[in-house]
Structure formats: structure tokens, C-alpha cells
Amino acid sequence: MLAAVGAVAIADVARAAAPGEAPPDDDDGGLVIEEAPPAAEATPVVALTGRLQVGAAVDLDVARDEGVVDAEARLDLLLTARPPGSALDGELAMGLRYGVLVPDGRGERGAVDVADARFGESFVRWRSPWALDVSLGLRALRWGAVTALRPLDVLTPVDLRRGAAPWLDEPPIAVPALSVQKVLGRVSLEVVWMPFFVLDDVFLARDDWRLAERGAVSVQPGVARALAGLSERELERDQSRVILTDRPSSGGFPGDVAARAVFHGDAVDVGLVLGTQWERVPRFEALPSRLRGYATHVARRELAGLELAWSVLGATLAADVLYASSATAYRADGSSRTTSDGLLHWTIEARVTPAIWLDVAVAVSERRLLDTPRDAFATPIEDEDLVIASADSWQLAARVGLMLAFDGAVRLDAALRAGLDRADWTLAVGVTARLGGGASLTGGVIVFEGPPDGLGLGSLYDGNDSAYLRATFTF
Amino acid sequence: MNTAPRARSARAATLAPLLVLLALTAATGPSSAADDPPPEALAREALASAGLGFEAGEATLRMRIDDGRGHALERTLTTRTRIDGDARETRITFTEPADQRGVELLTLERGGGEPAQYLWLPALGKATRIAGSALGGKFQGSDFTFGDLARRDVPGRFVARPAETLGKERILRVDVLPAEGDGEAAFGRVELGISERTRALVRVAFHDRAGELVRELAVTRLSKVGDRYVPTRLVMSDRRAGSKTTLEVTRLDPDARFPATVFAPESLGR
């Protein structure tokens, strides 16, 4: 995987000069001996960086009643403060987004748009001289050793409103947290307290939408697409939206508390995760007519997890296992069902970079409700157009990065995500060209396939194949 | 012979990835120059003085990669290093160009074994462990390998060669040959050039087992930090590919100290 670094990094990374524009080389090949070190440059105390993305997606399924062009612009800003010599530092991140859906004229709908702003990781941190860090603010902690189908990514809610491509993980939602990190030799300890309950975000606006499981909903080409099933008149009735953002009403310790300990060996990292949390389900933004009911009960559960990363035979093998003491299925009629024996979710992943220009990762995952007969939730439920959480499932994820130019100026990424017991799959292929000066252009396609009555990702979005083009400018 | 002081306590934040290769567990070979110090001691001294890999402190580096076909890339990175006994921890953060900003590489070297390395890619959002066998892979597309950025033991025999002159400097030369019976050595011969006056390593040439020069590291600038000289500009050339990478220290703070939490893999990206 090390080489992966190289490959990914190179591809991900930048080119300061466009091809053929070699900057002057100031190296004369001689030996200079100076009697003083290089003069220290002033390190900026505060720095503002950011990224602007502008893109559009179009339907590839021309047989649909109405096609759409889904355009979006997003600006991410990051303000960092690192006073030299100070034990205090901090970050402030914010994302601004504007999306518009333009129908192709075959239907009656007009254009609709959506805009929002959200803080990212924004915190103040104290780095004590005793190998103890304390941070307070909005954090998005991502634990675990695997990079796909992550079982231990349960502390941070995700924003599923803007699905993109399967290889992109769900964007995390930064939540208020107090974090304490301590290093003891080769062991890293972290304890986090998140006092407020924050749900995942998902737009639900189509009658035929169902959520099968966490992490499987992030593929819709855009927020605007999510709104495609609504009329302008309906969209104007914002006041009628149902937004399930209530905090859990039942008792218990306030908030989520979790701890992680990781031992870093020469070839192996082994970690243990323990915690207690409110079980998180998506927050719905939809119209009452389309969401016939909803559940307000949120169960509390305990977590225990193991993570492992092992460098062996030129590859990195990683595994995460999560046991949660309960898991709840919510249905559109307002009913819910909580398992008594809990949930087991594990993923094994292999990452390898056989050459600097090739990076491959493959992961297999199983998620199982322990007290539920297999497939009990995998069968579509009549008259219930919404099922959240947790059908049992086997999944496979594969990711390939291929550098098409020496310096990573052109890179191809492909990702496959398949439900092994659902006969559905999703494939995304994209090519990114680095244009220099922090600019890049990405184009690709996303394809969904699955049985019409399936609960897997490919089934849920079958018929929503799209092609996209996105320009990115980083500054 | 100049005997410039080389106090080990003066730890400069320099890069000497070069030397990575040779963390000397070597047998001593014969010396051919009677007036020069024994080759093993000379080499050990130079390598120790140069500080294998990044030493404690903080530095800003500029990297320039020429692919030999008229294309060039320039990158800027900062290094933070902490030394605790036999352990050396180095965190490299790319700051320029903009779309590479935030890429981080953490190298943990502990007691002579294979270093553990972790990569943070902002798009991935978490640190990932890097496989040890990939240490030969190029670092960020440069002519330096990941292994060059970490210490590794390379058994070998040290053989003195006739000195040469580079400008006004007399350069002492030592060859490192594979240990007897070592049929798996990465190189057939590694040639070291050491400045007699500063006792700093100024050249490392890697020859394959057929004797062909395949990689060459040249120190083109030494700077005095405290009471010793450290490389602050060096060039790694790949003779086969025709490419070369220049690393230049543009800022140096050898007194910077960091808590251990900075070098925890969990801290990458934060």
C-alpha cells in the first residue's frame, strides 16, 4: 500500500507546472558550504485555504418520463490558526452549497434550487507537553482501519443528501465533541464525549425511495435529483416539511461516549473501541404526503469493536469488527423494531500497490442482525415505502486507481460496490485531469443495476444512471 | 586533517534521506589511505553527523522533480521530527501546490526494525498504514523512495578509496560493498563521498550488481547549524530514467520540539 501512497498521492496531487513548462532549475551541481542555517521564514499564524467545485450531471436513462440536468456549486473554506510557540491551535471549516435542477422540458416541472451552509471541523485544541491533547468543538472522528464499508465509523453522522460516487465516502457531519488524546509509548488512547444527538442527513422525496442500510444511500447524483419527484407547488410548501431532528426522549447518559486504544507495532496495528451511544438514523426532509409517519423513538446501545492493520507480503490487510447491542429498523408507517441481541458488522480489506501507477483495494463486509432470521428484512415490505436500517447483507467493494500519466496529470478511478446476496451492483468510473495551478477536471459515469424488488443499492437507484462533469479549483 | 566538532546533541532539522540507506551494521574493510581515518569509522561518523533521515526540529523543504523530458514539478513540504531514545518519528506535510495540500506521511522508526509508515490523504479522510514492501516505491513521484525517508540497516563492508577534490574541498571516499555471502543486497556497491573539512556526507552513488551507476545523491549545499554542518540542498538522480529530484531546505528550526501526540497516526490530518 505504500506504493499506493505514491500512486494516489501523485495522482491526487498537483502539478506546479503544466506539461512542457519546466520552471528554471537553480541547481548548479556544485558544493556550497554556508556558515549559517537557512534564514527562517515567518510562519503564517492564520491561513485561509479552500476549494471550489462546479459540476453537472445528466440522465443516461432516456426512457424516463422526464430527464434532468443537475448542477451544483460548492465552496469549502478552511481557516487554520497555528500560533508559533503556542500550545493552542484551531481550525474553522465551512461548506457553502448551491444546487439547481433543470428538467428537460418533457414534463411539467420547472427548475428548482437548493442552497445551504454547514460548518465542518471547527475546534480549539490544547497540545500539552505531556503527550496529552484536548480539543473542544465540532469534530468528525473516523475510527477503524478499513477504508471502505467501515463498521467502526459509527461515531460521526454522515450527510447523505448529496450522493456522488461510490468510491467517495459519505461526507461526515462535524458534531460538538470534547476529545482527549493521550500517547503512551506505542499506544494511542482517545476518549470522546459528544453530548448532543445528531442524525444522519438524507433527503427523501420520492415514493419509490427506500433506505436499506447505513452507508448505502450515498449515490444519488444530487440533491436536486432527490427533489425530482416533487412539483414546484410542493417545493414551495417548505413549512410543511417533516424534519425529524428531535433528540431522543428516553433517558440514559447524555450523549455519546466512546474510547479507542490502538497499539502500533512494527508490522501490525491493533485497536479496541468501546462506547455507548444513541443509535443514529437518518433525518428526513420530506413532505407529509410522502412520509406517512415517522418514528421518534431512538434506542440506546453499547458498542464494542476491534480493528487490525497488518503489513504483509507487500500488501496491507485491514479488518474492522463492530458489535452493537441493539439495532432498530424504522418503517414509514411509524413502527419500529429493535433487535434484542444486537448487530454484528465486520469488514476485511486488502490494499496493494503493485506498481506506482496502480492502486487496488478490495473489501468484503457482512452485516447481520443477530436475533433476526436471515433475509427477514431483505424482503420488500408491501405498502411500506421506507425501511431504514438494517437488512442483513453481504457486500463487496473494490477500488482501482490507475495513473495514466507519469506525474499523475491524468488519473482513472473505478469503484464497484455489490450486494453479494442481493444480486445488485453499482459501478462508477471517472477520469481526472490535473490542469495545473490547482485546477482539475473530472468526468465520469455512474451505473446502477439490480432486481426491481431488491433492497440493495443497485436496485434502489436502478434507472438513475448518470454522467457527470466537475471542475475543481483548489486555493 | 580537520576535526570539526560533531556534537550529537546538536540535532538539526535537516533532511538527509540519503543516508537512510545505510544505517550501518557493517564489517570493516581495509583502508587504502594511510593518512585517512578507517573507512568504517569515517562513514559512520559522516552518517551519524548528517543524521540519518530527518532530525529533531522543524523544516520547510522545497522539492523539484525533473522528469528528464522537460517537465518539472515543484512542491513544498514541512517536516516535524521527534527523537526519543532510539525512536525517530517524522511527520511530513505537503503544503504546496494547493491540490496536494494536506497530504501527510508519518514514519515511525523504532529500534532498527522496518519503519512503520502511515499516509493521510485528505480525500480518504483517515490515516492508512503503508505496506513495508512498498518502501522502494517513489515518494510523491520524486526520485526519492519511501525507504529513503527512513533508516534501514544495510550490512556491508567498508573499503577506502582515493580521495578527490571538489572545488576547494577535499572529498574522502568510501565504498560500501555487500557483506560476504549477501546475495540479496539491493546494490552491488554504494560509493560515499565525505567532505574532509566538515565531515559531512556530500555524495552517495548506488551501483547495481553489474557495476552500473543507477542512482546518485549529491549534496550541493551544506549549512552550519550549531557546531556541525548539515545538508540543506541535495539532488537525487535516477541515471536510468534520466530524472532527478532536488530537495532544498528553505527554513530550519532545529530547536522546535513537539509532543508525542503530534506523531500518533491518529493525529494525521488534524
B177-207: burial string, b at 16+ Cβ within 10 Å, e else: bbeeeeeebebebbbbbbbbbbbbbbbbbbb
Residue at B7 is within a domain: no
pLDDT of residue A49: 92
Residue at B245 is within a domain: yes
This complex has an ipTM of 0.77
Q: Looking at the domain covering A2-13+50-474, what would its CATH class be?
A: mainly beta
Whole-number average pLDDT of chain A: 71
- List the single residue in A with minimal CA-CA distance to B201: A31
**In which band, very low, low, confident or very high, does the pLDDT at A423 lie, cut at 50, 70 and 90?**
confident
Interchain proximity A49–B254, CB inside 8 Å: no
Q: Which of A197-206, A288-297, B7-16 has the highest mean pLDDT?
A: A197-206
pLDDT of residue A457: 65
pLDDT of residue B188: 84
| A360 lies within 8 A of chain B by CB | no
| B114 lies within 8 A of chain A by CB | yes
Interchain proximity B133–A2, CB inside 8 Å: yes
pLDDT of residue A220: 29
Residue at B108 is within a domain: yes
Q: Tell me: pLDDT of A208 over 50.
A: no
Tell me the average pLDDT across A176-191. 94
The CATH number that applies at residue B103 is 2.50.20.10
**In which band, very low, low, confident or very high, does the pLDDT at A170 lie, cut at 50, 70 and 90?**
low
Q: Tell me: pLDDT of B15 over 50.
A: no
Comparing A70-79, A249-258, A339-348, B79-88, which segment has the lowest mean pLDDT? A249-258
Interchain proximity A147–B12, CB inside 8 Å: no
State which residues form the domain around B233.
17-267
Percent of chain B with pLDDT over 90: 8
pLDDT tens column, B92-144: 998 888 878 888 989 888 776 678 889 898 877 788 888 765 556 666 677 77
Chain A: closest CA distance from residue B78 (Å)? 11
Residue at B44 is within a domain: yes
Q: How many domains does chain B have?
A: 1
Percent of chain B with pLDDT over 70: 73
Residue at B9 is within a domain: no
Percent of chain A with pLDDT over 90: 28
Q: Tell me: pLDDT of A203 over 70.
A: no
Give the strand pairing for B156-166 and B27-28: parallel
Dihedrals phi, psi of A2, to nearest 5 degrees? -55, -45
Residues 439-468, chain A: which have Cβ within 8 Å of B? 440
- List the single residue in B with minimal CA-CA distance to A180: B261
Interchain proximity B223–A474, CB inside 8 Å: no
pLDDT tens column, A76-129: 999 999 887 788 999 999 989 887 767 666 666 566 676 778 899 999 999 998
Tell me the average pLDDT across A300-328. 89
Comparing A205-219, B4-18, B49-63, which segment has the lowest mean pLDDT? A205-219
- List the single residue in B with minimal CA-CA distance to A356: B137
**In which band, very low, low, confident or very high, does the pLDDT at B146 lie, cut at 50, 70 and 90?**
low
Q: Which among B70, B224, B263 is the nearest to A20, CB-wise?
A: B70
Q: Which residue has the higher pLDDT, B71 or A191?
A: A191
pLDDT of residue A40: 62
Tell me the average pLDDT across A3-7. 33
Q: Tell me: pLDDT of A393 over 70.
A: yes
pLDDT tens column, A245-299: 334 444 456 788 999 999 998 889 999 999 998 776 544 433 333 433 333 445 6
Contact A200, A281 (CB under 8 A): yes
pLDDT of residue A41: 63
Q: Which among A12, A169, A266 is the nearest to B114, CB-wise?
A: A266
Q: Where are the domains of chain A?
A: 2-13+50-474
Q: Which of A79-93, A232-246, B30-44, B143-157 has the highest mean pLDDT?
A: A79-93
Q: Which among B67, B116, B138 is the nearest to A356, CB-wise?
A: B138
> For residue A45, how many other CB atoms are within 10 A of its CB?
12
| A41 lies within 8 A of chain B by CB | yes
pLDDT of residue A37: 76
Residues of B in contact with A32 (CB under 8 A): 220-222, 233
pLDDT of residue B28: 33
Interchain proximity B134–A12, CB inside 8 Å: no
Chain B: closest CA distance from residue A61 (Å)? 30
| B15 lies within 8 A of chain A by CB | no
Residue at B179 is within a domain: yes
pLDDT of residue A317: 95
Q: Which residue has the higher pLDDT, A213 or A266?
A: A266
Q: How far apart are CA B47 and CA B224, in angstroms?
A: 16
Interchain proximity B124–A33, CB inside 8 Å: no
Sign of CA dihedral B47, B53, B58, B59: positive
Tell me the average pLDDT across A457-473. 79
Which residue shows C-alpha cell 529513503? B148
Interchain proximity A29–B235, CB inside 8 Å: yes
Q: How far apart are CA B236 and CA B245, in angstroms?
A: 5
Q: Tell me: pLDDT of B177 over 50.
A: yes
| B108 lies within 8 A of chain A by CB | yes
pLDDT tens column, A25-44: 445 557 888 887 777 666 67
**DSSP codes joined into one string, A7-63:** HHHHHHS--SS-TT-PPPP---S--EEESSPPPPPPPPSEEEEEEEEEEEEEES-TT
Q: Which of A332-346, A443-457, B49-63 has the highest mean pLDDT?
A: A443-457
Give the strand pairing for A32-34 and B201-207: unpaired
Burial class (CB in 10 A: 0-12, 13-18, 19+), A44: exposed
Q: Tell me: pLDDT of B31 over 60.
A: no
Q: Which residue has the higher pLDDT, A463 or A282?
A: A463
- List the single residue in A with minimal CA-CA distance to B94: A13
